[in-house]
Chains A and B, each alone.
Chain A
Amino acid sequence: MYRITKKESLNPTVTFMEVEAPFVARKAEPGQFIILRVDEEGERIPLTIAGCDREKGTVEIIFQIVGATTGKLNHKNVGEYLQDFVGPLGKATETEGLKRVCVVGGGVGCAIALPVARKLHELGVEVTSIIGFRNKDLLILEKEFAACSDQLIVMTDDGSYARQGNVTVPLKEMLEAGEQFDEVITIGPLIMMKFVVLACKPFGVPVTVSMNPIMIDGTGMCGGCRLSLVQDGKRVTRFACVDGPDFNGYEVDFDEAMQRGAMFRDFERQAYEEACNLFREVKA
């Protein structure tokens, strides 16, 4: 069992949690993920690691309440326990040899982008961060990004805070103005990452994307997390849990990944509604 040591609501749908998991904390690196089960009967869900404290033996996660399981997770409080918490899984984000990097985060993906930006900053890399949200209410981690970025650009889709537009707008402007990045690292919704890749393509900047597909064991057994890459014109199958979650953005078949991500959408929606009703009943 894994004790919750901190909990904070970052916005109405996004929650920060710190969990005691010394074996995971010992090794966790930016880009890696964990799999958790809330309780004895729970499903296994992957969540990317948002940070860790090796001395305290704690791991931070930031999650969006999107379904039944994340809803249940959000009902757990400090001092309560999670049934299972396993990791760190997947490969860490490659940071070696980088000098100037643009980190592009979207929505709750910013939670995963933050430790990457932090690590790059600690390594002395010049970091430009672009973070985007649908609106002002969903904004998270602005201060934290400001602290580890040489330049920070905040975008909202509706213009209710900072600059209006999506994250590709300032990215394109910078690239067109001749900004040279060794790499663009992007983490967020699949559709956003797809367009970040398209924006970078004319300039030949390497783009790393972080994939977060359907997953069960997370250790290279079930194959549920597979995605297709196109390498030298040939399609190859890769597994996000052991080969990723980071991939070369130019190789990922995003359209297929988006379709696969919707495989259980009806089931998930129904489960979420049932769970919400249950919580309402409990409250009433």
Chain B
Amino acid sequence: MANMSLKKNPMPSQDPKVRAHNFDEVAIGYSEETAIDEALRCLHCKNMPCVSGCPVNIHIPEFIEKIKQQDYEGAYQIISETSSLPAVCGRVCPQESQCEAKCVRGIKGEPVGIGRLERFVADWHNAHATEAPVVPAPNGHKVAIIGSGPSGLTCAGDLAKKGYKVTVFEALHLAGGVLVYGIPEFRLPKAIVQKEVDNLKAMGVDVETNMVIGKTLTVDEIFEMGYEAVFIGSGAGLPNFMNIPGESLKGVYSANEYLTRSNLMKAFREHPVTPISKGGRVAVVGGGNVAMDAARTALRLGADEVTIVYRRSLDELPARKEEVEHAMEEGIIFKLLTNPTEILGYHNPDDPRDPKNGNVIGMTCIQMELGEPDERGRRRPVPIPDSEFTIDVDTVVMAIGTSPNPLIKSTTAGLEVNRRGGIVVEEATGATSREGVYAGGDAVTGAATVISAMGAGKVAAKAIDEYLQSK
């Protein structure tokens, strides 16, 4: 009997007042009863529009059917046929613009909570499954994956399932890429990422940390070592800055640096070994998911006041709706249609050795209005003359995107990159201009989502398999 409620079962979450001061996960997850109740909202449409909205084409109605039958492990097996990281995707995918956007129930009312169900199934599996993953029979081919973020882990998982001997080379000391250095604990607990990495290792995937490809080894040397194909999933690169005065003052961070200090280096702990500014007034410049993560991290680090400064309006905020709502509930201030023009620093005219010299004390901003649409159809923000004002801040986090990392392209002859430095690939296969070299994720597209990177890893794994089997 279908559940015809127009509303999704709400996600149980920590109280905003409480969670603003801890790093525990915000969303608590569905109970079994709630999951079954939500599963009953699925109409099992014949044409399965939701599946076409998923970048990795999870067989959504099938896994939801298994939930109804209370066969949660069965549901997990269906998801893992196509997705390597269900516990991650169930948490960080922008379902509202993917599978759930296509859900028929969404026409009149809210779509089925597909993401929440996926998370329930993955968490159930992680809590109950005892069987080690099946180690596939080796097929004798070796493939190297550069980067252990979402695209690399997905590509590695898919190839390992087919019997390839896969080695993942990671530049940092810990595997997971943006899942460990970028996305905060309260949105994606690191134990979950570790579990996914451990699953891959149990399937025979080798993870080599402290290997900076382009420095420690080059792509050519990887081939010389006997690898027959290489997937580049090296992720986002150097942080962008606005090129306004004051960006080198003490207290100005890129979002990458701020989040890496807190997440990867555990600066959020009480006695950290890696420092980070805590407390005071924090401004985060930008409107994407990374900006929301930085702002909510600042709050949890003890900031008195956190402000998001974004040059367009609420409707244009590129962050997931849920993240924006969570941020607002937690008390983050949104200064929209606002753009910084200068960051102001302390200067003691009487004492050039005053240690406070160069500390951030404020930020001058200008009011913006929306003008004509740009080439992508988004209305371009235009400054309103003489509308400058100053806000008092102690810390500024720049979350305005990244540019591709130069290390691999500068050491790999024949690897074509575009004007912005992104690796050029054939979209249907992820193939680059070098034979046997594939790429995907932010290294190709520039900053994007976890699931689109996973989709790219999946596409490349299939293409690598076809390439090596036809060789």
Which A residues have a C-beta under 8 Å from some C-beta of B?
23-24, 27, 37, 41-44, 68-69, 83-89, 216-217, 219-224, 226-228, 235, 237, 239, 242, 256, 259-260, 262-268, 271
Measured CB to CB, the closest approach of chain B to A20, in angstroms, equals 13
The answer to whether B257 and A224 touch across the interface, beta carbons within 8 angstroms, is: yes
Chain A residue numbers with a CB within 8 Å of B237 are 220-221
Measured CB to CB, the closest approach of chain A to B232, in angstroms, equals 14
Closest 6 CB pairs of A and B: A223-B254, A223-B239, A86-B210, A259-B358, A267-B275, A222-B257
Chain A residue numbers with a CB within 8 Å of B358 are 259-260, 262
Q: Say whether B250 faces chain A, with CB atoms less than 8 Å apart.
A: yes
Chain A residue numbers with a CB within 8 Å of B420 are none
The answer to whether B212 and A87 touch across the interface, beta carbons within 8 angstroms, is: yes
Known: A224-B254, A235-B243. 6 other contacts (CB 8 A): A23-B217, A86-B171, A217-B171, A219-B215, A219-B405, A223-B257
Chain A residue numbers with a CB within 8 Å of B243 are 235, 237
Q: Within the complex, which residue of B216, B251, B357 is in contact with A24, where a contact is CB–CB below 8 Å?
A: B216
8 A-B pairs whose Cβ atoms sit less than 8 Å apart in the complex: A27-B216, A220-B405, A220-B407, A237-B247, A242-B407, A260-B358, A262-B355, A265-B355
Residue interface bits B225-251, CB-to-A below 8 A is 1, else 0: 000000000011111010100011111
Chain B: residues with Cβ within 8 Å of the partner, total of 41
Q: Say whether B95 faces chain A, with CB atoms less than 8 Å apart.
A: no
Given contacts A242-B406, A267-B275, contact A217 B248 (CB under 8 A): no
Q: Say whether B256 faces chain A, with CB atoms less than 8 Å apart.
A: yes
Chain A residue numbers with a CB within 8 Å of B171 are 86, 217, 219
Residue of A42, A220, A224 with highest tally of chain B CB at under 10 A:
A220
A180 vs B241: C-alpha distance when bound (angstroms):
40
| Shortest Cβ distance from A218 into B: residue | B212
Chain A residue numbers with a CB within 8 Å of B256 are 221-223
Q: Say whether B22 faces chain A, with CB atoms less than 8 Å apart.
A: no
Chain B residue numbers with a CB within 8 Å of A239 are 238
| Shortest Cβ distance from B258 into A: residue | A222
B89-110 residues at the A interface, CB under 8 angstroms: none
Give the interface SS of chain B, mostly helix, strand, loop or mixed: loop
Measured CB to CB, the closest approach of chain A to B147, in angstroms, equals 11
Measured CB to CB, the closest approach of chain A to B312, in angstroms, equals 24
| Shortest Cβ distance from A266 into B: residue | B355
A269 vs B249: C-alpha distance when bound (angstroms):
20
The answer to whether B248 and A260 touch across the interface, beta carbons within 8 angstroms, is: yes
The answer to whether A83 and B173 touch across the interface, beta carbons within 8 angstroms, is: yes
Chain B residue numbers with a CB within 8 Å of A220 are 237-238, 405-407
Q: Within the complex, which residue of A23, A221, A264, A266 is in contact with B216, where a contact is CB–CB below 8 Å?
A: A23
The answer to whether A259 and B250 touch across the interface, beta carbons within 8 angstroms, is: yes
Residue of A44, A228, A235 with highest tally of chain B CB at under 10 A:
A44
Measured CB to CB, the closest approach of chain A to B171, in angstroms, equals 5
Chain B residue numbers with a CB within 8 Å of A88 are 215-216
Q: Say whether B9 faces chain A, with CB atoms less than 8 Å apart.
A: no
A76 vs B357: C-alpha distance when bound (angstroms):
37
Q: Within the complex, which residue of A41, A85, A221, A237 is in contact with B260, where a contact is CB–CB below 8 Å?
A: A221
Given contacts A27-B216, A221-B256, A237-B243, contact A43 B273 (CB under 8 A): yes
Measured CB to CB, the closest approach of chain A to B173, in angstroms, equals 4
Q: Say whether B281 faces chain A, with CB atoms less than 8 Å apart.
A: no
The answer to whether A86 and B212 touch across the interface, beta carbons within 8 angstroms, is: yes
| Shortest Cβ distance from A263 into B: residue | B250
Residue interface bits B349-379, CB-to-A below 8 A is 1, else 0: 0000001011000000000000000000000
The answer to whether A217 and B172 touch across the interface, beta carbons within 8 angstroms, is: yes
The answer to whether B274 and A43 touch across the interface, beta carbons within 8 angstroms, is: yes
Q: Say whether B51 faces chain A, with CB atoms less than 8 Å apart.
A: no
Chain A residue numbers with a CB within 8 Å of B215 are 27, 87-89, 219
